Amino acid sequence: MRKVLFCLGLLFVASLQLQAQTDPNKNAFSAKVLFLDYGTPNDVDDQNITNGLELTYIRELLPWLNFAIPAKVGVIDVDNDINNRTFFSIDGVLQLQYKKSDTAFITPYLMGGGGITLEEELGSNVQIPVGAGFNFKVGTRSYINLQGEYRISQEENRNNIQLGVGYLHKLGRMDADGDGVVDNLDKCPRDAGSPETDGCPDTDLDGVADIEDKCPARPGKKRFKGCPDTDDDGVMDDEDKCPEVAGLASLMGCPDSDQDGITDADDDCPQVKGTASANGCPDRDGDGVADAKDQCPDQAGTAANNGCPFKDRDNDGVADSQDECPDEPGTQAANGCPDRDGDGVGDARDRCPDDAGDMEGCPDTDGDGVHDGKDACINQAGTAENKGCPELNKEEQEVLSFAMRAVQFETGKARLKEESKEVLDQIVKIMQRYPGYALAINGHTDNVGDAENNKILSEDRARACYAYLVSEGISPKRISFQGFGEEQPIATNDTRSGRTLNRRVEFNLYIE
């Protein structure tokens, strides 16, 4: 037995040394309270459940396999002994675990192994434990451990069941993604990477982590945050207009052979220093016409006059012979005429002289094909037939038609009935949806009573509707009202139903 204990002791010391030499996250210790049953496995009645303590060192050999050395002490109740006996045991156990990751909430495992149990009077006996357990994660490195094991003994009446509950603590620092970089140093603790990128993935293997790599699928340079610079001119390809030819950073990576500040691709004279106004060619008089094409190279002129000066009474840069407004400064785009909005259409011909556009000098703000100079609804797309305003849909037209019959007043008065306001609210919503429309409110009566009084009543009723709509936020500039009395019947006044139809308020939306 001493040899066995000695060997187990050496194994324990070797495990501690292994802990010091390897990743500390592979090692753990646990402490449990044990509940011991020697009666049930041996068919012995009246045996008490006793208790013990267990301390265990655990070493992870593989992600799915642990080696554990549990040391236990406690008391046991055995057959033919009225007193509980003290015992001590030490085992060597393998744990076959199912672990998704270090961050998993629960890790189940199966266990089995062998060990020596020392017991008062009986001495030592070999026991083989088999069982299962669960580790429940409660902290970064902390777990609650539940374990049950059945122990088969070489001695009679010494088979036993042990249930334990306790605390397990993993040593060292966690590495949830298993990339060799501990979590507190890992910038991507849930995604496996490499130490060179602080634990983060690097898809293109350029030494720049994907989270910082602006070009994660293409190898590049660290100074460009992982993006390539094919011609190695200090301008990364995505910003380099000449990515295959080394150039200057000031010219977006393009070369400038004559160093005149104009890239070779845009320079009509790439080997001779020139000016931007002459596309990179020499221009002695600075008129924008290259000397090679300038018929007056020492006298500033215009391109239209082959570099020679011309008559320009208004000094607007447009020759009098081509200036439609020779005595009024203008722009070349507008043939020498004033163009306040700079759209190339002279103010005299521009339907919208203060708003640039390309449709008779006007913009089309709502993009409906009707420019703002003709569009009665410049912020709401419509049709040309409707002056650029949208058509009312069928439901909205029905609301207006219904309102003619539904808006009611107290008998003989211009006071709206409460139920009429609900109909008027619908008209408010329609006018809010169609800000380009105006509304005409026309009041009508039947022929009962004095004609002049009827006309006054019809106008008062139209005015009441007008006042309500204005109170609900509709601009009074968009509404007009008028009373027609009995002048415009839509049905005969000889019947009650006809007179009812003639007593009405009409709501007509129109575009001014």
| pLDDT, tens digit (0-9, with 9 covering 90-100), for 25-51 | 689 999 999 999 999 999 988 889 999
What mean pLDDT is predicted for residues 232-255? 84
What mean pLDDT is predicted for residues 297-313? 79
- Residue with structure tokens 């052979």? 257
pLDDT at 109 over 70: yes
pLDDT band at residue 440 under the 50/70/90 scheme:
very high
CATH number listed for the domain at residues 394-510: 3.30.1330.60
Interatomic CA distance for residues 482 and 468, integer angstroms: 15
The pLDDT of residue 174: 65
pLDDT at 369 over 50: yes
Query: Do residues 182 and 189 make contact, with C-beta atoms less than 8 angstroms apart?
Result: no
Q: What is the pTM of this model?
A: 0.38
Between 62 and 266, the higher pLDDT residue: 62
pLDDT band at residue 443 under the 50/70/90 scheme:
very high
pLDDT at 282 over 50: yes
Q: What are the tens digits of pLDDT across the range 167-189?
A: 999 886 666 666 777 777 777 88
Interatomic CA distance for residues 488 and 497, integer angstroms: 16
Task: Read off the amino acid at residue 358.
Answer: D
pLDDT at 379 over 80: yes
The pLDDT of residue 175: 66
pLDDT at 301 over 50: yes
Q: What are the tens digits of pLDDT across the range 317-337?
A: 788 778 889 888 988 888 889
2-170 belongs to which CATH class?
A: mainly beta
Between 362 and 350, the higher pLDDT residue: 362
The pLDDT of residue 5: 42
The pLDDT of residue 262: 87
Interatomic CA distance for residues 506 and 441, integer angstroms: 6
| Best mean pLDDT range from 189-198, 279-288, 391-400, 496-505 | 496-505
Strand, coil or helix: 398:
helix
CA distances from 136 to 144, 174, 386 (A): 5, 16, 73
Q: How many other C-beta atoms are found inside a 10 Å radius of the C-beta of residue 180?
A: 13
Q: How many other C-beta atoms are found inside a 10 Å radius of the C-beta of residue 399?
A: 18
| Best mean pLDDT range from 204-208, 339-343, 385-389, 423-427 | 423-427
Check if 2-170 and 394-510 are the same fold.
no
Give the torsion through C-alpha atoms of 175, 179, 184, 186, to 10 deg: -150
Query: Do residues 474 and 466 make contact, with C-beta atoms less than 8 angstroms apart?
Result: no
Interatomic CA distance for residues 274 and 259, integer angstroms: 9
The pLDDT of residue 25: 64
Closest CA to 93 of 144, 164, 22, 41: 164
pLDDT at 13 over 80: no
pLDDT at 235 over 50: yes
The pLDDT of residue 484: 95
pLDDT at 476 over 60: yes
Between 356 and 29, the higher pLDDT residue: 29
Query: Residues of the chain with pLDDT > 70: what percent?
Result: 93
pLDDT at 436 over 80: yes
Weakest mean pLDDT among 15-29, 228-242, 275-289, 403-417: 15-29
The pLDDT of residue 489: 94
Between 368 and 242, the higher pLDDT residue: 242
What mean pLDDT is predicted for residues 224-234? 83
Weakest mean pLDDT among 11-15, 44-48, 114-118, 225-229: 11-15
Interatomic CA distance for residues 195 and 210, integer angstroms: 14
pLDDT at 355 over 80: yes
- Sign (positive/negative) of CA torsion 150, 151, 157, 162? negative
What average pLDDT is seen over the chain? 86
The pLDDT of residue 173: 66
pLDDT at 1 over 60: no
pLDDT band at residue 69 under the 50/70/90 scheme:
very high
pLDDT at 504 over 80: yes
What mean pLDDT is predicted for residues 483-506? 92
What mean pLDDT is predicted for residues 272-290? 85
The pLDDT of residue 10: 46
pLDDT at 455 over 90: yes
What mean pLDDT is predicted for residues 77-82? 82
pLDDT at 467 over 50: yes
Residue 373 half-sphere exposure toward CB, CA atoms < 13 A = 15
Query: Do residues 387 and 511 make contact, with C-beta atoms less than 8 angstroms apart?
Result: yes
Domain ranges of the chain: 2-170, 394-510
Between 353 and 113, the higher pLDDT residue: 113
pLDDT at 24 over 60: no
